[in-house]
Amino acid sequence: MEIDSRFLSTGLLLVATIIVAKLISAFIVPKSRKRVPPFVKGWPLIGGLVRFLKGPIFMLREEYPKLGSVFTLKLFHKNITFLIGPEVSAHFFKAPETDLSQQEVYQFNVPTFGPGVVFDVDYSVRQEQFRFFTEALRVNKLKSYVNQMVSEAEDYFSKWGPSGEVDLKYELEHLIILTASRCLLGREVRDKLFDDVSALFHDLDNGMLPISVLFPYLPIPAHKRRDQARKKLAEIFATIISSRKSASKSEDDMLQCFIDSKYKDGRPTTEAEVTGLLIAALFAGQHTSSITSTWTGAYLLCNNQYLSAVQEEQKQLMEKHGDRVDHDVLAEMDVLYRCIKEALRLHPPLIMLLRSSHSDFSVTTREGKEYDIPKGHIIATSPAFANRLDHIFKDPEKYDPDRFSLGREEDKVAGAFSYISFGGGRHGCLGEPFAYLQIKAIWTHLLRNFELELVSPFPEIDWNAMVVGVKGKVMVRYKRKALSVNQ
Residue of 301, 353, 384, 441 that binds ligand HEM (CB under 6 A): 353
Stretch that binds ligand HEM, among 74-82, 226-234, 236-244, 277-285 (CB under 6 A): 277-285
Q: Nearer Cβ to ligand HEM, position 67 or 208?
A: 208
In this structure, the chain runs to a length of: 487
| Residues 483, 444: Cα–Cα separation, whole Å | 10
φ/ψ of residue 454, rounded to 5 = -80, 120
C-alpha pair distances (Å), 393 with each of 83, 298, 387, 408, 424 = 18, 21, 8, 10, 18
Interaction of residue 443 with ligand HEM, rule CB under 6 A: no
Q: Nearer Cβ to ligand HEM, position 73 or 435?
A: 435
Q: How many helical (H) and strand (E) elements, i.e. helices and strands, does the chain have?
A: 20, 12
Residue of 112, 256, 269, 292 that binds ligand HEM (CB under 6 A): 292
Interaction of residue 283 with ligand HEM, rule CB under 6 A: no
Residue of 84, 241, 281, 446 that binds ligand HEM (CB under 6 A): 281
Residue of 80, 110, 350, 386 that binds ligand HEM (CB under 6 A): 350
Tell me which residue has its CB nearest to ligand HEM: 431
Sheet with strand 378-381: strands edge to edge: 70-75, 78-83, 378-381, 353-357, 100-101
* Interface positions, 57-116, toward ligand HEM (CB under 6 A): 102
Interaction of residue 422 with ligand HEM, rule CB under 6 A: yes
Residue of 131, 143, 388, 427 that binds ligand HEM (CB under 6 A): 427
| Residues 319, 332: Cα–Cα separation, whole Å | 13
Residue of 150, 300, 330, 430 that binds ligand HEM (CB under 6 A): 430
Interaction of residue 380 with ligand HEM, rule CB under 6 A: no
Stretch that binds ligand HEM, among 141-149, 300-308, 343-351, 365-373 (CB under 6 A): 343-351
Q: How far apart are the first and last CA of the chain?
A: 113
Interaction of residue 343 with ligand HEM, rule CB under 6 A: no
The b/e string for 418-435 (b: 16+ C-beta within 10 A; e otherwise) is: bbbbbbbeebebbbebbb
- Reference 133, options 331, 292, 269; nearest CA is 269
Q: Nearer Cβ to ligand HEM, position 444 or 478?
A: 444
| Residues 87, 65: Cα–Cα separation, whole Å | 16
Q: Which residues face 373 on adjacent strands?
A: 361
Is 339 annotated in a binding site? The answer is: no
DSSP 381-393: E-HHHHTT-TTTS
Residue of 130, 157, 194, 463 that binds ligand HEM (CB under 6 A): 130
Residue ranges for the known binding site for heme are: 429
Residue ranges for the known binding site are: 429
Interface residues toward ligand HEM, by CB under 6 A: 102, 130, 133, 281, 284-285, 288-289, 292, 348-350, 353, 421-423, 427, 429-431, 434-435
